[in-house]
Amino acid sequence: MLASFKPSSSNAYILASLMIAHVYFVRRFPAPGESLQAENFYGETGGKGLNVLVGLHKLAVPVNGILPCGYHPTSQQQLQHILAEWQLNHITPAIIAEHNGHGVALIDAQGQNQIIIFPGANALLGEADIQRQTAHIQQADLTYAPFELPDAAIIAAFSIARAANRMTVLNPSPYRTINPTLLAVTDVLIMNQTEAQAWLNGSPEHFSTRSTTLAWLRHIQFNQRFPGKSLVITLGDQGVVALLEDGSIHQQEAFDTQVVDSIGAGDAFASAFLASLLQGNHLSTALQYGCASASLCIRQSGLLAHLPTRDILQSFLSGQGSGTNS
């Protein structure tokens, strides 16, 4: 479906996981049993689904969605703050647990990260919650979900979207085995090289560059093995490759960037990539927009405040040249 995607309403529906992030900067990652003192810290409200929702909203894409949250007073305060800050009061909260999701991240001197999460309310989002959103899902050109939410909720949303002939986009992160039923109702998968390695039984060398990634996808006969699926793999400083369901290949080099904080880079990419598609741009342009958005975000700490508006993204790209390898 991605190869022939043509938006009609240009809007999106997001299954928006909510996570309260605690981020620690360290010189290096600790060894087992070792304690380290962090050199810096910040806290931020985020979550893979919420990040993409806010990113699309800042890029002027009409967006709707559902946001699991806790009923504890602190959880409710966090929810109301994020909805008000980003003018998302039209988003439906699903109050289904005591606490919101939480995450702890370590970032080393090279800007690489390690993350652990407690899903909280995100883990309890169910099919019934999704069924109440049927009309919104049917009206959206695409429905997007991350793996911070349960399979049953994602399958329910994607099944509604598919029945309405709408595109479904899965970000299988944090990675777990992809349920065959979920895969069957997924049109597009967006993942990083680590997730691709786990799903496709590869090694780090297979996903070290754009050329090795494409060679591995050809070797495993991806299109024959997963007919009808499009795959977008982000490769950090190596850029991104896309193999569509029709066998066409697209790629985009990364923009030269000094990495400060790589947390949320994939969400920054996904939001701008999808926004560009929804605005009717060619896939190669969408990949370029995604890489530009990631570049703008990873050069500073924090994510939501640094997700670009359309004007900021256009200004950045105007100063960079095209840089597209389609």
Q: Who has greater pLDDT, 325 or 134?
A: 134
224-277 per-position pLDDT tens digit:
999 999 999 999 999 999 999 999 999 999 999 988 888 899 999 999 999 999
Going by C-alpha positions, the residue among 7, 57, 4, 60 that lies closest to residue 278 is 7
The three-class DSSP label of residue 79 is: helix
Element (H or E) spanning 183, and its range? helix 180-184
Q: CA-to-CA distance for 310 and 270, rounded, in angstroms?
A: 14
Domains of the chain, first to last: 10-28+42-316 (3.40.1190.20)
Cα-only R_g, the chain? 19
Q: How many residues does the chain have?
A: 326
User: In 3D, which of 179, 176, 211 has the Cα closest to residue 191?
Assistant: 176
Q: Are 96 and 68 in contact (CB under 8 A)?
A: yes
User: Which residue in this structure is represented by tokens 């981020």?
Assistant: 23
Provide the pLDDT for residue 263.
82
Among 30-44, 102-116, 221-235, name the most confident range: 221-235
Q: What is the mean pLDDT of residues 173-196?
A: 97
Judge residue 20's burial from the number of C-beta atoms within 10 Å of its C-beta, 0-12 exposed, 13-18 middle, 19 or more buried.
buried
